[in-house]
Every structure is written in C-alpha cells, then in structure tokens.
Amino acid sequence: MSNLEQTYFNRRKKLLGKMNAGVAIIPSNELHTRSNDTEHPFRQNSNFYYFTGFLETNSVLVLVKKTEATEQILFLEEKVPEMELWTGKRLGPNAALKSMNIDKAYSINDFEKIMTEIITGSKNLYINGFELNKTTKSVFNITNRLWKSRKKSSHLPTQIYHLDHLTEEMRLIKEPYEVEMMKEAIKKTVVGHKVAMAKTKPGLNERDIHAVMDYTFKMDMGEGPAYGMIVAGGNNANVLHYIENNALLNDGDLILIDAGAEHKLYASDVTRTFPVNGKFSDIQAKVYNEVLKSQEHVIHAAKPGMTLSELHKIASLSLTESLIELGVLSGDPAELYENGDHKKYYPHGTGHWLGLDVHDQCPYLDDQCNDIKLKENMVFTVEPGLYFPSEDESLPKELRGIGIRIEDDILITKNGNENLTAEIPKTIQEIEKQCKENYLDILEKGI
C-alpha cells in the first residue's frame, strides 16, 4: 500500500470511529451538462476525494459500522471497452479492490440492490449532503420501500444524519500532505500574479490578463485555476464577485485580480491590486497602504487561540480608522465600528477556511455555537479591502472608482503563522518593480 493510499484508509477509519453503528454514503460528483450533449469539465466531490483520492464520476463510497466489524465499500463503473472508447479508461471493481485498500468493490449498476441489503437493519444512516442527486434519490427510494415493509422497526434507519458534521471537522486541521499540496498550488499562483503585473498595460482587455493567468496556472502540467478568476479593472473592482472579465483596461485605473491555482484539487486563493500603468497615483497609494496596514495587523495577530471573528474585528477597526483618515467617515472609530458604518465600504468578511475547496467546507462555530479557535495546521485567508464605487457621490471625488483588496493564504503554526503566499509582490515598491518586468521572461523561467 502506498503512503497516499494509507492516508485515505486512515481517514476512512477515523470517520468510522466517529460514527454510531450504521452506514455512511459519500457519492462522487456527477457530470453536468454544458449544452445539449456536452458537459462541463468534471471536478470531483471534495469529500469523496478526501476519503478515496479517486477521480472517476459515477462512484459511491460506503462505510459500514456494525458492533463487531466495519467495512469499506466502493461502487464504481465496470470496465466496458466500448464505453472506454468514448469516455476514457476506467479502473473497474476488480482493480479497485486490489489497488485502493478497500474491503469490497461492486459495479455501480448493482448499487440499489446491494445497498438495500446493507441498509436493512441499520438504524443510523449518514448521507454526505442532502441535495437530490442520483445517489441520494436512490438511497431515499430504498428507505421508502423499507418503510412499506411489514417489519418496519428492523428494516428502516431510525436516524438520518448529515455526514458533513463529521467530515467538516476532520478537514479543518490540515495534514502535512495537504499543506504540501497547497504549497504546490501556490507555486503556480506566485508565477501567475507576477506575470499579470508584468503583462498588464493600458489598452489591453481584462480577458487578456485572465488568459495569461489561466495559461500560467496550466503550464508545466498545472491543473488550472481553483475557482473562477476575478480580473477587474477600475470601477469593476467594486463588484465583489465580478466575473465578466471583458472590459478595457484604462490608463490611471487600478486592476484587482483574485485568482489562485489548484494542485491535486487543493486550492490557493490570492488577491492583488495594482496600477494598470504600473505606477500608483498619490491617492491610490494612500488607500492601498491603508488596506495593507489592516492586513498586516491581522496577520500579525493570527495565532493559536484567536478566532476569525476576532481577526475580522481587528481588520474592521483598522479600516474604520482609515475611512476617517480618508475623509469618508467622521467620529469616534469605536462608535462607528459598533454602528457598522464601515460596512458600506468594507462589506465582506476578513477570511475563510482554505483547502480542497477555495471556501473550504469546515465549521466556523463549535457545537456550542462559539467561534472555532485557531489551531496549528489550520489554513485560511486574510483579505481586507476598501471599495469606493464611482457612482457614490457622497464620497470625495478623488476616491470614486477605487476598489482595493489584498489577500494572502495563512497557515497557523505552533506559536504563530506562516504566510504561504508572501512571495507575491505586495508593497507598493515591490508591485511597481514587478510591473516593469518582462512577462515573457517570467513565463520562460516558470516555477
């Protein structure tokens, strides 16, 4: 058994230890239609991948816990040469049983028949998400049929659980392998942002920068972006989830780029804001440094025992003071913060968990509804920003149209933290220097 297969096995074993006696069902993602008979590129379900490392669609992991024993079962597609001609090679149940360290492997075509036998008599049923996909529909069909059987008490699960409550907790603390995968993703992200700074100039389109970053994330066997990139010039930066990425880049504007590469399904997530012409104006530099100051306060404070809410308060108070300094707000910073006056210009949170998902599927509150405290090997983002829409006539004229966000990926260590994305230029001096570089030289050098 390889070290990686041992990792997946250990995760499944740990999950079984957290379950009551019963059955857990974790399906793969399904293919989704793009148009007519073509599909979007397939991306595996994160929980399914976390416990299997298996990348095929139309598969289901089933974990069975009984008083005397446990079983790890995988349902997957059969090897059918005629189908493989169209869809590519499949592992098949026989090979899966030999290579994936599971107890049993069956054809997905037999899922409902075999699962009826497995579920019968199991009082606890754990389902990975309750969305109505093919697998959950099949499981609910089985339970409905069992409801109609004569011996209901012995044939039907009496408790159905949302499995994510257990899996999210497991995924919150990153294993060394996971941190290494994220660092590999970040290597591509570093190059991508450096290339973007060097490539950008007035007269290009946002899609030009999107394209060169996409290429950078995919070159040298890279897997591409971890999420839909935001490439927002000028006032477009004030649309938090701007996705059009097709506007002209104008001299004198800033450009905000929120983009990160993916490696083995592990995400990175970075935002940088810089001048289209390579030189910050005085007011752009002033706002930028206020956002940077806020981010540095948060990163400095991030350590075991802190919470994301506490870090958000640090960022918000800092930015509230900045808004007073910029002439946007007036009054006592603490009172303005308590009133939420800053939220008009800083409307989002300061960070989120990061891992297999760019917004990693992990809890923010414990079972007592208290904020999760940071622990060693948690990974999250720090991304304060200030947004001044051009149409807001209540703002000083010089600020209108400026939108700035700065985001880095932070790993909590034993006594503090490590900024995993610190290599990406961030100070004004570093950015203006990077903007003068030749982007082709950076691409040639790669990672």
Per-residue pLDDT reduced to its tens digit, 182-199 = 999 999 999 999 999 999
Asked if 13 and 137 sit in the same domain, the reply is yes
pLDDT, position 447: 67
The verdict on whether 241 is a catalytic residue reads yes
Tell which residue, 357, 346, 187, has the closest CA to residue 266.
Answer: 357
150: pLDDT strictly greater than 60:
no
Do 351 and 435 fall within a single domain? yes
Domain span at residue 411 reads: 173-445
pLDDT score recorded for residue 32: 85
Task: Give residue 197's pLDDT.
Answer: 98
Report the alpha-carbon distance of residue 435 to residue 195 in Å, rounded.
9
Domain end among 170, 185, 220: 170
The residue among 124, 140, 170 that closes a domain is 170
Least confident of 40-49, 132-141, 200-209, 342-351: 132-141
* 419 and 294 within one domain: yes
pLDDT score of 82: 80
For 286-310, what is each residue's pLDDT tens digit?
999 999 999 999 999 999 999 999 9
Catalytic site includes residue 258: yes
What is the count of structural domains for the chain? Answer: 2
- Same-domain pairing of 32 and 49: yes
Q: Is 187 found in the same domain as 79? A: no
> In this structure, are 268 and 328 located in the same domain?
yes
37 versus 107: the higher-pLDDT residue is 107
* Catalytic (active site) residue 405: yes
Based on the residue annotation, tell me whether 387 is a catalytic residue of this protein. yes
Residue type, 220: D
Shared-domain flag, residues 153 and 177:
no
332 is a catalytic site residue: no
Last residue of a domain, one of 170, 189, 216: 170
User: From CA 93, how far away is CA 357, in angstroms rounded?
Assistant: 28
Whether residue 299 is found in the same domain as residue 430: yes
pLDDT digits 0-9 by tens, 21-35:
999 999 999 888 899
Residues 152 and 198 in one domain: no
407 carries an active-site annotation: yes
Q: In the annotation, is 342 catalytic?
A: no
3-state secondary structure of 346: coil
CATH number at residue 275: 3.90.230.10
| Reported confidence tier of residue 244, pLDDT bands at 50, 70, 90 | very high
Residues 162 and 97 both lie in one domain: yes
Q: Which of 126, 214, 405, 409 is catalytic?
A: 405
**10 Å Cβ neighbour count for 331?**
11
258 and 309 co-located in one domain: yes
Q: What is the mean pLDDT of residues 334-355?
A: 97
Annotated active-site residue in 39, 165, 359, 430: 359
Asked about 383 being catalytic, the answer comes back as yes
Q: Is 193 a catalytic residue?
A: no
In this structure, what DSSP letter does residue 407 have?
B
Among 77, 253, 262, 269, the one annotated catalytic: 269
Is the same domain home to 177 and 127?
no
Buried b (16+ CB within 10 A) or exposed e, 277-293: bbebbeebebbbebbbe
